[in-house]
Amino acid sequence: MDHADGGHVDHDLGGPGDVVRRWRGRPGTGRRVEWNVIDIVTVVDGRITDHWAVADNLPLLAALTEEQP
């Protein structure tokens, strides 16, 4: 979902994927995972001047462990 308000643009991005490669030192498990990222940018005169991002890595970390949540 995208939302623009007063020079700020919010973008919510995510989707499914399979953990097949190493990530932060942990081997891939082949498990399915859903991930989400939220980006917020400030736009001034048509240019991005600030950028904030938050990634929800908990589902990915859970998929890299032996136990399923």
The CA distances from residue 41 to 1, 15, 44, 54, 64, in Å, are 14, 21, 10, 12, 31
Question: E strands within 1-69?
Answer: 2-5, 8-18, 32-44, 47-56
Q: Is residue 27 part of a domain?
A: yes
Over the stretch 46-67, which tens digit does the pLDDT of each residue have? 888 999 999 888 887 777 776 5
Q: Which helix (H) or strand (E) holds 63?
A: helix 58-63
In this structure, what CATH number is given to the domain that contains residue 54? 3.10.450.50
Domain count, the chain: 1
Q: Is residue 68 part of a domain?
A: no
**pTM more than 0.75:** no
Q: Is residue 69 part of a domain?
A: no
> Given pLDDT bands bounded at 50, 70 and 90, which one contains residue 4?
low
DSSP type of residue 61: H
Q: Is residue 21 part of a domain?
A: yes
As beta bridge partners, residue 44 has 47
Over the stretch 7-55, which tens digit does the pLDDT of each residue have? 888 888 888 888 888 877 878 888 888 888 999 999 888 888 999 999 8
